[in-house]
Amino acid sequence: MGERKPGDRERAITSVAKTSITDSGEKQHTLLGADELILNMGPQHPSTHGVLRVKLKLDGERVIGSECMIGYLHRGVEKIAEHRTYQQFAPYVDRMDYVAAVSNGLGYCEAIEKLLLVEAPVRARVIRTILTELQRIASHLLWLGTHALDIGALTPLFYCFREREEILKIFEKYCGARLTTHAFRIGGLQYEAYDTLEKDVERFCKNFESRIVEYEDLLTQNRIWLGRTKGVGILTSAEAIAFGATGPVLRASGVKWDIRKAMPYAAYDQYKFEIPVGTAGDTYDRYLVRMEEMRQSRLICLQAIENIPSGPILAKVGKVLSAQGRIGLLRCERRDGATVPRAHPATVVRESAIV
Amino acid sequence: MLGTVLLGSESDCFCTPAAEGVTAAHIAQGPWPTSPRNNNLLPHPRAKSPPPPPGGVPAKPAAPAPPKPPVVLQTPLNNELVERVRAKFGPALVEATEDRKQAILTVECARLAEIALYFRDEEKFDLLSDLTAVDWPKREKRFDVVLNLYSFAKNERLRVKARAGDGEEVPSLHGVWPTANWLEREAFDMFGIVFAGHPDLRRILLPDEWKGYPLRKDYDIIEQDTAWVKENLGIESGQ
């Protein structure tokens, strides 16, 4: 062995480790010359809101592969639903996304109404729209505040929660709950709007216009924010569709599509609003789209409180509704003789076998 | 029982006798009165009796309303889309029905991938909203694999179903819509449906070693893999 020169050892390591062999047998170029490191991020990690485990494949600090693992919060709600009536299951959907319980409730109630061929009265639909758009703002605010927090900006969190609190107070006044509201019922609403609902919503919307400007002042041109969101997580429009993305994620990828316009539900067909779209499909565009969506939600709320129609708030639906009772109901609906009295659907539910 | 399910009109078939006396207007008036638990069999306290007719003549009891015609929920469907599919795939299209304005096509399971590709490319159903399954334990082919498709171009939804028996392999649609990857893993996890050609068919929500498929109808609501719970969570009773 010859004499060692300074730097030889470093060169030797680099030349050997620059191409390492991966599990699947292919050669992979690694930047730092270190072997790959498998690192578990989560399932409980402060930056994974919710419980997500990401198995990261690292080359130094560079992520060269990842595998997502879910299921840590799986509660088997479908199985629970098999053993509940439609009304009994309604509070469960609030818990599927507890920062957007109202929106979940709306989707669930509208779906059951479609099954039953029932339509909620127009007053109920307008109030549903107002509450759902407020919930959209509240949900976006929570996302914005925590996203900024994760990047290191503490102030937006306090600003966002300040406004979110106003919305939660409106929910609390309306139905007594702040998060898991169970605000709607199948067929309409259970509670009539409280006296000052319009005023509260109007006051919130008036204030909120300048508040969005405050958030944007802090973030939109912020160098760190730009550096951490621009060009990150790019999803092209074709990819977004192929992976089944919807909502703001799809719109940020440049697809001008909103289910509130494409297949209007509640009272969305009566109000004017724009669909914001992005161009690059990166995190920054998703941020811009959501900011604009909050503005549009505010406009929808303002239009809706202008004229809340009077009238009933609950359509005529049975007290016990169950998918399993459907066959049983067929039986008791024939009413072709005294031998088959009109049964209470609750008993029918119990009688009917699983088909 | 899968055929035509008949229902009375929605106003009476889903109404309990007690609910009939209560109109939405009463409910709108305010909170429910505090009354004994079983008061739902009594007339609603605020239910108004009809106003006395002018002149003080007692009203004749109203004639019973004529029975409403039953609502047929599922009707055979025969639109242009169905005709095109039938012309192209013939007997592979098993059934075409419409249920509450929703087109439902039942297709042959073995040709599902080919038909799915046709729906994506020719009929422009480019979004797979959902892929799930339904268990009908008494049926010979017990599973329905259900695809919910959406077309941005047509603004239309389409439901495609394929019947599969227990243990029968269903072609994977991972190559048609990438999002089918996780959705098929979920159907495998919950129902035990095997998707042939899936790149990574593992359980997605439950632990890998779990025994049993919870969304099958014969899996009881409190049933669980007791051995797994004992071993991994250290809970001796298994609960």
Q: Can you name the residues that pair with B29 across neighbouring β-strands?
A: none
Chain A CA closest to residue B22? A316
Q: Do B6 and A312 touch (CB under 8 A)?
A: no
Residue A205 placed within a domain: yes
Residue A48 placed within a domain: yes
In chain B, positions 115-144, which contact chain A (CB-CB < 8 Å)?
126-129, 136-138
The predicted structure's pLDDT at residue A34: 56
Mean pLDDT of chain B: 79
Answer yes or no: do A129 and A67 share one domain: no
Residue A324 placed within a domain: no
- Higher local confidence (pLDDT), B143 or B31: B143
The predicted structure's pLDDT at residue A348: 32
Fold of B72-171: Beta Polymerase; domain 2 (3.30.460)
pTM for the whole structure = 0.77
| Chain B contact set for A87 (CB, 8 A) | none
The range of the structural domain enclosing residue A56 comes to 32-74
Answer yes or no: do A56 and A86 share one domain: no
Residue A18 placed within a domain: no
Domain boundaries, chain B: 72-171, 214-239
Answer yes or no: do A45 and A183 share one domain: no
CA B156 to chain centre: 18
The predicted structure's pLDDT at residue A345: 35
- Indicate the residue among A306, A321, A348 that finishes a domain: A306
> Which of B6, B155, B204 faces A330 most closely, judged by CB atoms?
B6
| Chain B contact set for A335 (CB, 8 A) | 67
The predicted structure's pLDDT at residue B30: 37
Answer yes or no: do A45 and A166 share one domain: no
Residue B228 buriedness (CB in 10 A; 0-12 / 13-18 / 19+) = middle
Domain of A175: which CATH number?
1.10.645.10
Answer yes or no: do A57 and A181 share one domain: no
Candidates A92, A112, A117, partner chain B, best to mutate (most B CBs within 10 A): A117
Candidates A75, A77, A79, partner chain B, best to mutate (most B CBs within 10 A): A79
pLDDT band at A1 (very low <50, low <70, confident <90, very high): very low
- Higher local confidence (pLDDT), A333 or B89: B89
Chain A CA closest to residue B181? A243
pLDDT over 90 (residue A173): yes
pLDDT over 80 (residue B182): yes
The per-residue pLDDT for range B52-86, each reduced to its tens digit, is: 555 555 555 666 777 766 667 788 988 999 999 99
| Chain B contact set for A342 (CB, 8 A) | 17
Rounded distance, CA A299 to CA A274, Å?
10
Residue A322 placed within a domain: no
Percent of chain B beyond pLDDT 90? 57
DSSP-assigned states of every residue in chain B? --SPPEE--HHHHT--HHHHT--HHHHHTSSPPP--GGGGGSPPTTPPPPPPPTTSPPPPPPPPPPPPPPEE-EEE---HHHHHHHHHHGGGEEEEEEETTEEEEEE-GGGHHHHHHHHHHTS---EEEEEEEEE-TTSSS-EEEEEEEEETTTTEEEEEEEEE-TT-EEE--TTT-TTHHHHHHHHHHHH--EEET-TT---SSS-TT--S-TTSTTS-TT---HHHHHHHH--TT--
> Which of A71, A190, A313 faces B204 most closely, judged by CB atoms?
A71
Complex ipTM tops 0.85: no
How many structural domains is chain A composed of? 2
pLDDT over 60 (residue A168): yes
